Chains A and B, each alone.
Chain A
Amino acid sequence: MDYDMGEAAAALRDELRRLVRENVPPDFLGAFTDDPADLAVAQKFCHLLAEQGLLCLAWPEEYGGRGVSQWEQTVVREEMWAHHEPRGAQYMGVNWVGPAIMRHGTDEQRRTHLPPIARGDVIWCQGFSEPDAGSDLASLQTAARRDGDGWRISGQKIWTSYATMAQWCFLLARTSRGEKKQHGITVFLVPMSDPAIEVRPIASMLGPHHLNEVFIDDLWVTEADVLGPVDEGWKVVQEVLAFERVGIARYARCERLLRLAPAVLGDRWEGLPAELRGRWARMLTHCRRARLLAYRVVALQGRGQVRPADAAAYRIAVTRLDQESAEVLAEIVSLAALTGDDAQRFARAVEDHRRYSVSATVASGSIEMQRILLARALLAAS
């Protein structure tokens, strides 16, 4: 066995850390805050990554990527999430919208959409969830009906992250009703600037831009805006979700914050209750556990294998880690009287982590859905 990711991955990690150090302010806690300067930081950072060929590393060379190994892609995921995702909302376009268009798009769609994603110029949002279609996504009701040589779409989406700032939406709509609800769903690539689309932000504990409602009222799109075969969008979505099988490297931010704690607390660290330091040690073990579970999924993907049970087990472990580590960190911060810039910065990062971690077991596939997937795989093996 060998748990060394190799020289290329190590060099990439060093390079990403240097770029973050030199271009992202130490106070940065993500692009989506009340301060527009944070979004500007992310946009600038994306352009910088794009110029250096680091934004779409995993893409094939013909589309502006470097076709790097799955381990280098893992490094990018880890470093970006650990440092509060300085790519802002770009990861969505890079990680799965782009690959979905490469695989299912027409030449025209590839020409239209891939270069702006590769340059870091465009933000995509995901029009999936609806008021009555959350975990049960295939029950979605947003409807597209044929009208001449195009389609008219009406309906409502909800929980749509970044919809206020996105230029494009990867939208799911029902185009027919088959025997199964998974049949008759189609993917549309729609411009968010169309007046038929109205976005209403939802105030939440996660902060601005994370949650929105999207109302679509008689949106006209053409055949050229359909991605993949009509009525077979569910298959496209399944593939899209496969790109995201590992998803966010939540363990990386958890580990970074946990590792920072003793340094920030200085001499006060030993004054913490022994039980709390024990919980801290356990969380570091759980960080490693989640990371290794992610690596198992990545290694299998590298061999062209998909085991849904492994991905689900990882997601259950990592989302629980996110919440449990947030509780430990919040208690550490509350017990130590933190003064000084570094300490205050750390306290703000912990507060941000704690608040955002509440959504970990809900967003991008709830923990219940992951348990259902894992149970299905386990029981099928009997």
Chain B
Amino acid sequence: MIIDLSDAALELGRLARRALDEAGGDRLVQIAEQEPDRRESLVAPVLAELGAWELDPRGSGDELEAAAALCRSAGWWSVAYPVAERLCRPVDLGAAGTVVVADVRPAGPLAGLGGRWAAVTLGGRRSLATPRPPAAAPRTSAFVVELDLQPIDDGGADSPGRAAGDAALGLVLPCWTLLGMLDRAIDLTRAYVVERHQFGQPLASFQGVQFQLTDAEVERSGVEELAKYALWSIEAGRDDALDDALALRLAAVEAAEVVFRVAHQLHGAVGFCDETALSWLSRFSQPLRRLPLGPSATLDQLTSRIGRHGLSGLFDAATA
């Protein structure tokens, strides 16, 4: 059993977090919102310096793990750039990246980004995706736009493994970005309750505060373990990698609900204010939590896919 990312992947994640910090850190998303045309130039070159865009997550387990670590670091700074989606680019379409889309109202966080993009549904149908012009400012849209799709193939009847693999990878890497956001939300909240005093003592000294924080942390740490497992499932080429990806996504979006609710509650009013990183993190977590499917629709998909055989684990119907 090896349940940690490789040392090289972890080191790349650390380097990326530091490089993004030096490039602006929390300011990156703020500048991107104020000057949407700069969103790519703020982030992409920094990660290019680290060789991010040469990574081939489909090529080897090491590169997949490195991609996951990069996504987590991008999430920490909520960089407002589709790092995970770019890392999921298809091998055969010459596209800049892949977004997983729902069957209805396909959308992705691609506002203002040029280039050719690919889209894939959970059923494996692939399309070329053209982002529509933004209907709202980034402040409320978080750069999400609807996509016009031009179908390429029909769900992978000719290559079911490839189709499921595209969807699994396209679900899992954004969950690593969301995990980075959860890491940060917990970290910010922990620092705040230690620093903020009320009734003559730090908020952290109140058990009512402590217990909210611990419940959020349990949710976050559960996502961390499921994220590694789902990554391994892709790495190992398992048949149920898409089920594992959906299980991760379900846990991640449900955890995000808890973590951000607690983070906002414990920050109090200042957490709504743009002077706090939480305000930005919370808003820019929305695309990851809603697309391609929110918690209820994700649960529907998972329930439908696993039917009566369930998720793989210690038992199957024969051994239970």
Contact = CB atoms under 8 A, between A and B. Distances in A.
Interface stretch (A105-113, A180-188, A372-380): A372-380
A323 B148 CA distance: 46
B204 interface: yes
Given A3-B1, A316-B214, A374-B217, A379 B226 contact: no
A378 B310 contact: no
B63 interface: no
B314 A256 contact: yes
B221 A293 contact: yes
B300 interface: yes
B230 to A, nearest CB: 10
A283 to B, nearest CB: 10
B200 interface: no
Interface string B225-261: 1101101100110000000000100110000000000
A103 interface: no
Contacts of A19: none
Given A1-B3, A1-B5, A263-B317, A258 B310 contact: yes
A237 B68 CA distance: 41
B320 A1 contact: no
A2 B229 CA distance: 9
Interface stretch (B85-93, B128-136, B301-309): B301-309
Contact of A310 (B5, B221, B226, B247): B221
B222 interface: yes
A295 B225 CA distance: 9
Interface string B180-193: 00000010001101
Nearest to B6: A1
A252 interface: yes
A289 B217 contact: no
B266 interface: no
B3 A288 contact: no
Contact of B210 (A296, A316, A372): A372
A288 B303 contact: no
Contacts of A289: 222, 225-226, 251
A371 B210 contact: yes
Given A4-B1, A299-B3, A259 B317 contact: yes
Contact of A260 (B186, B194, B302, B320): B320
Interface in B171-228: 186, 190-191, 193-194, 204, 207, 210-211, 213-215, 217-218, 221-222, 225-226, 228
A6 B1 contact: yes
Given A262-B310, A313-B217, A288 B300 contact: no
A255 B313 contact: yes
A1 B235 contact: yes
Contacts of A252: 314
B204 to A, nearest CB: 5
A185 B69 CA distance: 47
Contacts of A63: none
Contact of A288 (B232, B313, B319, B320): B313
Interface residues of A, number: 54
Nearest to B204: A379
Interface residues on B, range: 35 or more
B61 A1 contact: yes
Given A1-B65, A285-B247, A378-B217, A78 B314 contact: yes
Contact of B311 (A6, A263, A285, A381): A285
Contacts of A288: 226, 229, 247, 311, 313
A255 B315 contact: yes
A53 B104 CA distance: 59
Interface string A359-370: 000000000100
B300 A278 contact: yes
B310 A82 contact: no
Interface string B66-78: 0000000000000
Contacts of B313: 255, 259, 284, 287-288, 291
B1 A292 contact: no
B269 interface: no
B47 interface: no
Highest count of chain A CB atoms <10 Å: which of B1, B2, B247, B250 = B1
Nearest to B305: A281
A348 interface: no
A6 B315 CA distance: 17
A71 interface: yes
Interface in B274-320: 299-300, 302-303, 306, 308-311, 313-317, 319-320
A278 B299 contact: yes
Contacts of A280: 303
A287 B194 CA distance: 33
A82 B316 CA distance: 13
B9 to A, nearest CB: 10
B316 to A, nearest CB: 7
Given A274-B303, A285-B226, A374-B214, 16 more contacts: A1-B65, A1-B231, A3-B229, A71-B1, A262-B308, A274-B300, A278-B299, A282-B299, A289-B226, A291-B314, A295-B225, A296-B225, A371-B215, A375-B213, A378-B190, A379-B194
23 contacts: A1-B4, A1-B5, A1-B231, A1-B232, A2-B2, A17-B319, A82-B315, A255-B313, A258-B310, A259-B310, A259-B315, A259-B317, A274-B300, A285-B302, A285-B311, A288-B311, A289-B225, A290-B222, A291-B314, A293-B221, A293-B225, A313-B217, A316-B218
Nearest 5 interchain pairs by C-beta: A262-B308, A292-B225, A375-B210, A259-B320, A289-B222
Interface of B: 1-6, 61, 65, 186, 190-191, 193-194, 204, 207, 210-211, 213-215, 217-218, 221-222, 225-226, 228-229, 231-232, 235-236, 247, 250-251, 299-300, 302-303, 306, 308-311, 313-317, 319-320
